[in-house]
A and B are shown apart, each in its own frame.
Chain A
Amino acid sequence: MLNCPMHMDQWHSHLLGERVDQSSLVIQGNRACALGALDAGVRFFAGYPISPSSEIMEAMADRLPAAGGVFIQMEDEIASICACIGAALTGELAMTATSGPGFSLMQEALGYAIMVETPLLIVNVMRVGPSTGRPTAPSQGDVMQARWGTHGDHPAIVLAASNVADMYRLTMAAVRFAQRFRTPVILLADQLVGQMRESFSPELIGRYRLTSGDFDFTPGYIHPDLAREVHRPHVLGSGSHPHVTGLFHDDTGFPTNDPEKSDSFLRELYNKVAHHRNELCLYDVKNEGKGRVCIVAYGSCARTARAAWKLADQEGLPVEVLHLYTLFPLPVEIIQQVARRVEFMLIPELNLGQYAHEVRKMAEQWTTVIGMGKIDGTLFTPREILDRIAELIGKYESV
């Protein structure tokens, strides 16, 4: 691999966005994702064109050669993720980006990456509907696919971006998580977040702290809690010559049919994520402890939720917002903590209640969980959410 001849970050940000002053950029969400990936050290991208994610790929095609990295447009999304896994197994930081149909094609190889414990970033800029759907309209319809799309029991780390700054910082977080846990991380965005333009400051990104409080965006960050190491990394080359297989395998890397070894292998795979939930669950609470209703939101709906909260504040409605950046592993602790203190949890989603169902399982013994779904390719308005809140509180009071 060729070395980067200079501090490329300056020139990447200069070329991918439009500088408004010394520290701020106006930049498209998809390009901010590419910038975050480059700043996080991603040096391998293989992908296949698909709306509304292609700008990530185009930005990588433009910037990776100068950074001494590899960019390839493959023949399909299956080949794209496989090439990424191949590169990642040599120790390279690799990523791909796609949308629903491409994400569906990647599922088998995604399971392989989990099984052989390969760090990898997969960005899914969601479009609405099954099949081809509407490629240029936003949705959150792939949430459960991100969790359970590949076959068999498996761990999953899924993050959701709600704005351009998220596209940068959550890309970086996803890369760190992937490296640390040696597993693929899925970053969900949607057409709105991916293709909108917003200002943000990559230089000041360290200030964006999330409430979980223990994640640092500085390069080389390693979480102090290294209680459980993941399996021996497979790195092709660099002195070792391991065998890598998607079959159940033991510590030697070779296949095993031993039931006991199979069980402990899969449980360890699962638990390496489950046991680090607190580190992985990134979220933000607004108006903490002051609401009778909590809007639980992620992705572009979190933007609407925040706007609704501000309106609610003006109108004297007691509302708090739980903005989730990590969807999986499930943020059980914070959901249950909030559930214990509010009367309603309202979950606006651009799907038919995929995540509301998860929240209901965690919270319904303490609170009433209400889903709000939209699948027409448009967004909620803050007023729609607020009206629903007023209705819920009104209904409660009339009882």
Chain B
Amino acid sequence: MPLDIEQYLHTERLPHMWCAGCGIGIVTGAFLRAMVDLGLKREETVVVGGVGCSSRAAGYVDVGTMHTIHGRALAFATGIKMARPEFTVIVLTGDGDGAAIGGNHLIHACRRNIDLTCILFNNQVYGMTGGQVSPMTGWGDLATTAPYGQVETPFDLCRLAEAAGATFVARGTAANIRPVEEYIKQGIQHPGFAFIEAVVPCPMEYGKRNAPGGVLAMLDDEKARSISKAEAARLTPEELEDKIVTGVLHHKVGRPEFQRSYASIVARAQAEAAEQAETLQSESGGAVS
């Protein structure tokens, strides 16, 4: 019997292109199960990826899918959502795609609070190009472009998204996937910009240079470092440094959503235009050419 998720999966495209032990598939699975639970219509769902390992997930999902250019998935998605407000538009991106080259689009999508769902797969490294440092690589970690160790501090992407104006922000890990599925479901249903960061292991390009190394150890490590928002509130900034704060971290209702706000502008402009048309018609005695 086929699995429920297969209705949204290009099974003919399997096996997928990710490395053994990669965490992207785990989160993609959660995304597919969320789609099944929500019963998303294939004709009215568009999944947009940028460029990178995680963005390739779009190519396995059997809805309208786009594999775009590096960093710009949210900009493409903004155009799709504004042109077709009835569509459910989901962006799949990575930490390089979404937080480095696409960082500006991320904060502006948050600021607009446009009704998109952005799932950012954070594997702390550029996997596809062979293990270069990313804006999410930890301080001191090794990468091909940080052979002496990374000396830049990573973002806290969830706090960034919240500060920029996203109205649903959650973080989870591949090590504990059920809650991630839940966040994705809530994010898609949320009428505003939903940002979900999923911390995933990259044993091949990150794990081979950094402790704890193998995929199982990495998953265990993710689990060990995960704490809830409530637990995090009791810790000092120093104690928080290597923790992964998980859960729905921010959920705000009432902030205007961009597409709906724009629709009200359209309604107003059309009413005004109709009025102007009438005035013009009567002024020119109905003979406007």
Contacts and interface: CB of A to CB of B under 8 A. Distances in A.
Contacts of B289: 10, 22-23, 203
A2 B265 CA distance: 12
A327 interface: no
A10 B287 CA distance: 11
B139 interface: no
A97 interface: no
Interface string A45-71: 010000000000000000001101010
Interface in B92-148: 104-105, 108
B76 A243 contact: no
Interface in B244-269: 262-263, 265-269
Contacts of A84: 79
B65 A75 contact: no
Interface in B23-51: 42-46, 48
A44 B83 contact: yes
Contacts of B63: 241
B79 A46 contact: yes
Nearest to A80: B75
A86 B77 CA distance: 6
B266 A68 contact: yes
A85 B45 CA distance: 17
A85 B84 contact: no
Given A237-B87, A240-B64, A83 B82 contact: yes
Contact of B75 (A74, A92, A255): A74
Contacts of B75: 74, 78-80, 82-83, 86
Contacts of B64: 236-237, 240-242
A254 interface: yes
Contacts of B79: 44, 46, 72, 82-88, 94
A108 to B, nearest CB: 6
Nearest to A108: B69
A11 interface: yes
Nearest to A15: B276
B13 A65 contact: no
Interface in A3-49: 5-6, 8, 10-11, 14-15, 22-23, 44, 46
A33 B46 CA distance: 32
Contacts of B68: 82, 112, 246
A247 interface: yes
A333 interface: no
A78 to B, nearest CB: 6
Nearest to A82: B75
Nearest to B81: A86
A335 to B, nearest CB: 35
A89 B46 CA distance: 11
B43 A82 contact: no
Contacts of B210: none
Contact of B69 (A2, A90, A241, A246): A246
Contacts of B274: 5-6
Contacts of B273: 5-6, 8, 11, 66
Contacts of B104: 75-76, 79
B59 interface: yes
A1 interface: yes
B211 interface: no
B32 to A, nearest CB: 15
A75 to B, nearest CB: 4
B6 interface: no
A324 B267 CA distance: 42
Interface centre among A6, A46, A83, A239 (most CB of B within 10 A): A83
Nearest to A116: B66
A92 B274 CA distance: 24
Contacts of A239: 43
A236 B69 contact: no
A109 interface: yes
22 contacts: A14-B280, A14-B288, A44-B79, A65-B265, A65-B268, A70-B82, A78-B75, A79-B72, A79-B104, A89-B80, A94-B79, A108-B69, A109-B69, A109-B72, A112-B69, A236-B66, A241-B43, A241-B65, A243-B59, A245-B66, A255-B59, A255-B67
Interface of A: 1-2, 5-6, 8, 10-11, 14-15, 22-23, 44, 46, 65-66, 68, 70, 72, 74-76, 78-80, 82-90, 92, 94, 108-109, 112, 203, 236-247, 254-255
Interface of B: 10, 13, 42-46, 48, 58-59, 62-69, 72, 75-80, 82-84, 87, 104-105, 108, 262-263, 265-270, 272-274, 276-277, 280, 288-289
Given A79-B104, A245-B59, 10 more contacts: A10-B288, A11-B280, A76-B104, A87-B80, A90-B80, A90-B87, A112-B69, A237-B43, A241-B45, A254-B59
